[in-house]
């Protein structure tokens, strides 16, 4: 294997995004063959001992990109000090060391969640600056008034910081079940801790059920809850913002 920039290797190993890996190098936490690495250094993972905080880098043989339909009752983390089940319990054991969740869904939230060994991919999907918006189906107590909906669309102040503008619309009622609660489609471009639950709580309509139904261009209504699958290349490219290959028109022979 040829030498590559160290931050690229760290990102591919799932240690951190490339930008965060550069900070690890600047902070002196990365060594190559016992020497503290400098930003811009290259290394060959097959012949060089690359370590982060004293632990040797384990580079996955291939990059993996999974989409999981997360059930309620699972922590979005690689491990949990309280011993609760994590989303890693739902993927094959041999992959658990290299995979990491992209972003978070809280314990009682279900829906689409990405897991990958590619730190750069995770950064592009999770960070708001790249514009990968997420779509949720939200069941709330009662029916928010127009003024409350306007607040949600414009942004709610949480912990002193206003949320980014959101897109929200009413989902169709079920005439067979005329209940006082309501379902909404909510699209946001950020993912602060318990953000959606806090937004609706602050306008007086607590969330009763929350499900993520789309991540950027990715949607899969057929994936059963608790199941996962590999992403297709076209889906990976779509999430990374890569343009689709153009197919040239064939000229007619005269």
Alpha carbon 216 to chain centroid distance?
10
Tokens 């928010």 belong to which residue? Answer: 144
- Tens-place pLDDT, residues 177-209: 667 899 999 999 998 889 999 999 999 999 999
> Residue 211 belongs to a domain with what CATH number?
3.30.70.1560
Residues 105 and 224 in one domain: yes
Q: Is-catalytic flag, 159?
A: no
Whether residue 248 lies inside any domain: the answer is no
Does residue 70 share a domain with residue 109?
Answer: yes
Q: For residue range 13-52, what is the model confidence (pLDDT) as tens digits?
A: 778 878 889 999 999 999 999 999 999 999 988 789 999 9
Looking at the fold, whether 210 and 222 belong to one and the same domain comes out as: no
Helices and strands of the chain, counted as H and E runs: 6, 17
With H, G, I as helix, E, B as strand and everything else as coil, classify residue 196.
helix
The three-state secondary structure class of 20 is helix
Inside any domain, residue 251: no
Check whether residue 51 and residue 88 sit in a common domain: no
In terms of residue numbers, what domain contains 43?
4-56
Q: Which of 80, 106, 220, 237 is catalytic?
A: 106
CA 49, 3, 11, 122 dihedral sign is negative
Mark whether 34 and 15 lie in a shared domain.
yes
Q: Which residues are CB-contacts of 3 (< 8 A; sequence separation ≥ 6)? A: 42, 43, 44, 48
* Domain identity same for 120 and 110: yes
Alpha-carbon span 203 to 150, nearest angstrom: 10
Q: What is the CATH number of the domain that holds 221?
A: 3.30.70.580
Q: Give the count of domains, the chain.
A: 3
Residues 142 and 211 in one domain: yes
Q: Do both 17 and 115 map to the same domain?
A: no
> Do 193 and 231 share a structural domain?
no
196 and 230 in a single domain? The answer is no
Q: What percent of the chain has pLDDT over 70?
A: 93
Whole-prediction pTM: 0.74
Q: Do residues 23 and 144 both lie within one domain? A: no
**Quick check: is 81 in a domain?**
yes
Mean pLDDT of the chain: 89
């Amino acid at each position: 294997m040829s030498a590559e920039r160290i931050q690229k290797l760290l990102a591919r190993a799932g240690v951190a995004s490339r930008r965060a890996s550069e900070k690890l190098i600047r902070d002196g936490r990365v060594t190559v063959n016992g020497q503290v690495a400098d930003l811009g250094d290259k290394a060959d993972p097959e012949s060089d001992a690359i370590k982060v905080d004293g632990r040797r880098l384990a580079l996955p043989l291939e990059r993996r990109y999974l989409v999981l339909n997360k059930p309620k009752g699972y922590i979005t983390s690689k491990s949990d000090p309280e011993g609760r089940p994590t989303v890693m319990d739902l993927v094959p054991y041999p992959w658990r060391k290299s995979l990491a969740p992209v972003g978070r869904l809280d314990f009682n939230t279900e829906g689409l969640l990405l897991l990958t060994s590619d730190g750069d991919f995770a950064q592009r999907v999770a960070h708001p600056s790249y514009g990968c918006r997420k779509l949720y189906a939200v069941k709330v107590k009662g029916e928010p008034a127009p003024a409350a909906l306007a607040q949600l669309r414009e942004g709610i102040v949480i912990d002193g910081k206003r949320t980014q503008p959101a897109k929200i619309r009413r989902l169709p009622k079920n005439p067979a079940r005329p209940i006082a609660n309501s379902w909404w489609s909510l699209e946001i471009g950020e993912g602060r801790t318990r953000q959606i639950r806090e937004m609706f709580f602050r306008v007086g309509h607590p969330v009763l059920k929350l499900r993520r139904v789309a991540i950027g261009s990715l949607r899969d209504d057929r994936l059963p809850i608790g199941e996962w699958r590999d992403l297709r290349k076209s889906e990976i490219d779509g999430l990374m913002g890569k343009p689709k290959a153009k197919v040239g028109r064939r000229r007619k022979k005269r």
